[in-house]
Amino acid sequence: MSAHTGRSSAVTVVGLGPMGRALAAAFLAAGVPTTVWNRTPGRDADLVAAGARAAASAAEAVAASPLTVVCVVNYDASDAVLREETVTAALKGRTLVNLSADTPGRARDTAEWAARHGVRYLDGAIMTPAPTIGTDDAVFLHSGPEELYEEHRPVLAALGGTHTHLGEDPGRAAAYDIALLDIFWTAMAGYVHALAVARAEGVTGAELAPFAQGIAAILPPLFTEFAADTDAGTYSGAINPITSAVSTMTHVVHAAEAHGIDTSLMRVIEGQARRVVARGHGSDGYSRVADVITGR
């Protein structure tokens, strides 16, 4: 296989936090020659024992492979590594895939920087936890030049799971990532708040959890329905008008307040729904909030 197209194509992994280590381990397990580097030394012992080559510097690391995958905490961190002169010079003519998480704007900025320095650039986002890497459960999103993605797809496939190329705009993977993180963190905030309210009412987490899973199970069809609402601008509240939804939100606020539990998050949610009603859309569904919060 050619150095650029085959699964045997060498790869460099920059960043050896839990995710970077998982990526490097998956490449090694798939037989991909792998060079690793991390800002803080000493995080590569297991990987070296599994056959990785430890580079002495970031520049040496990126020079070792046609493809470098960087996975650090954010783009301030990836900039700190990649924009160092010797590293940028070593990257010239090679491919860089940035799987660190950050905003779409930072991804586009990095793509522009890469173009200015002759670095072939793909952006990406990882949507599943480190233990999924190398398994069928891993989910990777990619954006940037399709031809470049196709060229490196065989070696990226060593990371397991599903890989989706979302388009040429380098910010698109991060745009999905941000939207999906928005769902995740607000859901987590709701759940920990629910655990606190339940605990104050003498209901243990273990008692609540099976019913919480029941709530989670009703969400997938709602995701599809709300997506159609916001795409089409139709917000049918035939089954659950927002006037009715607001009432249940107020119950949560009152019950939590009775226990002295912070209700700031639920009050924001309730306030947004009340604004929909105040604008005369009380018979619409909850998805109408998407318009009100964007000033439509």
The H-assigned helical ranges of 162-233 are 172-200, 205-232
**Alpha carbon of 147 to those of 92, 120, 123, 153: distances in Å?**
18, 11, 13, 10
Cα separation, 112 vs 170, in Å, equals 9
Shortest distance, position 38 Cβ to ligand NDP, whole Å: 5
Does 20 bind ligand NDP (CB under 6 A)? Our answer is yes
Fill in the DSSP letter of residue 160: -
Does 34 bind ligand NDP (CB under 6 A)? Our answer is no
Q: Which is closer to ligand NDP, CB of 119 or CB of 173?
A: 173
Cα separation, 246 vs 41, in Å, equals 53
Rule CB under 6 A: choose which of 80, 187, 215, 216 binds ligand NDP: 80
Rule CB under 6 A: choose which of 130, 139, 222, 261 binds ligand NDP: 130
**CB-based closest residue to ligand NDP:** 17
Does 61 bind ligand NDP (CB under 6 A)? Our answer is no
Q: Which is closer to ligand NDP, CB of 126 or CB of 198?
A: 126
Rule CB under 6 A: choose which of 11, 71, 122, 138 binds ligand NDP: 71
Fill in the DSSP letter of residue 162: E
Does 15 bind ligand NDP (CB under 6 A)? Our answer is yes
Cα separation, 241 vs 272, in Å, equals 14
Cα separation, 14 vs 216, in Å, equals 36
Note the residues at the interface with ligand NDP (CB under 6 A).
15-20, 38-40, 43, 71-74, 77, 80-81, 100-101, 126, 129-130
